[in-house]
Chain A
Amino acid sequence: MNRRALSFVEVIIAMGILAMCMLPVMTMFGSSGRAVLKSQNLAFAVGLAHRISQHLFDAPYEAIVEVPLPGNAIAGGPDDGFFNPLLNDKTTGAGALRITQAQLPELWMFLRKYDFRYSLIVNNVNFATGDQMKCVGIIITWKEGGKDLLYKLYTYVPDL
């Protein structure tokens, strides 16, 4: 048989194989995107934990208490000295802005989307009378792709 051209069936089969080969490439793009988003949220969580640790150094020693899991939500959370109120460009407390939908909508939406929360695990460490410190575990949790993720940072706050 003289086969100088392609038959219709061969063309269809070739297109089917091409479509099947595209599938792994498509999934590869998707997974690289998820990795970037994960690193974005992790970098943000690291900053949050560092922020809390810096504020703990300045907080009154007795005021450093445990915040049990699941923790306090940062968006719309209580006035805690870490995140709420967040900003104030006025000369009185009336101008203070909290992370709420009304006052800081973009930040509120981002924090609510991933449900960022913080909790504190506090352990007292006594070396001698009058020489003590608190070992504070700062846990930042958030939700991503249906999974619960967390970042933990330990800091030691002396009783000065």
Chain B
Amino acid sequence: MYLTFRRNARGTTFVELLIGTTILALILGFVARWFFMQKEYQKRLTRISDIQNDFRRASWEMIQEVQMARTIIWPRINSDDSLRSDTKLVFKDFMGRIISYYHVPGTKEVRRCVIPNGPGDPVVNPAPIGRGIATMTFTATSPTNRVISYCMSTDGVFSLDAVYLMNAD
């Protein structure tokens, strides 16, 4: 006489549950690791994109005004004709006003002010020309004083550009 046992297959065994949980944990571990890596990567890319927008905005503002300027007052090339750089740019605009763009390292801003042609304090624009700019340098390279190069950088993102004065005296 033999007894036959029919197996009841209505659920999972403990071992199967353990194996399934382990595999699920491994998969979720990989997914979580990938997710956080992508999150950091996307954050970095967003930051790069924001920095480029900041550079574009600042460049646009400066180029519009400087290319119509009449003369660059500072920086000017050195006496040995070598180039000269500074974090501020001073020029006479097409209306004859003395304007300065200057970099403020503490706030990472480029600001604009109007320097009075006589006694008085400079009048600073309420809003900065550029934000989030870690370094900014204006460079005079030419004896004719008609080209100003500038270099901006923030967190490994760079912008190299220049402006030619179309309206120079």
Give A residues with C-beta under 8 Å from B: 1-8, 11-12, 15, 18-19, 22, 26, 29, 32-33, 36-37, 39-40, 43-44, 47-48, 50-51, 54-55, 57-58, 81, 83, 85-93, 95-96, 106-107, 110
Interface flags for B83-107 (1: CB within 8 Å of A; 0: not) read 1111000000000000000000000
28 contacts between A and B (CB under 8 A): A8-B20, A12-B20, A12-B23, A18-B27, A22-B31, A32-B42, A32-B45, A33-B41, A36-B45, A40-B49, A43-B56, A44-B159, A47-B160, A50-B161, A51-B162, A54-B147, A55-B149, A55-B164, A57-B164, A81-B141, A86-B139, A86-B149, A87-B85, A87-B139, A88-B82, A93-B81, A106-B156, A110-B158
Interchain residue pairs A-B with the least CB separation, the first 4: A93-B82, A54-B162, A8-B16, A54-B164
- Contact check: which of A1, A32, A39, A58 meets B52 at CB < 8 Å? A39
Tell me whether chain A's interface is mostly helix, strand or loop, or mixed.
helix
Residue of A nearest to B150 (CB): A51
* B167 contacts A by Cβ under 8 Å: no
Q: Bound complex: CA of A119 vs CA of B80, how far in Å?
A: 29
- Contact check: which of B10, B52, B82, B160 meets A40 at CB < 8 Å? B52
Is B9 a contact partner of A1 (Cβ separation < 8 A)?
yes
CB distance from A19 to the nearest CB of B (A): 6
A-B contact count (CB 8 A): 130
Give B residues with C-beta under 8 Å from A: 9-12, 16, 19-20, 23-24, 27, 31, 34, 38, 41-42, 45, 48-49, 52, 55-56, 59, 78-86, 137, 139, 141-142, 144, 146-147, 149, 151, 153, 156-164
**A107 neighbours in B (Cβ, 8 Å):** 153, 158
- Contact check: which of B12, B85, B141, B147 meets A89 at CB < 8 Å? B85
Given contacts A89-B85, A110-B158, 6 further A-B contacts (CB under 8 A): A8-B20, A26-B38, A39-B52, A40-B48, A92-B82, A107-B158
Is A55 a contact partner of B56 (Cβ separation < 8 A)?
no
CB distance from B9 to the nearest CB of A (A): 7
Residue picked from B27, B139, B146, B160, most chain A C-beta under 10 Å = B160
Is A58 a contact partner of B164 (Cβ separation < 8 A)?
yes
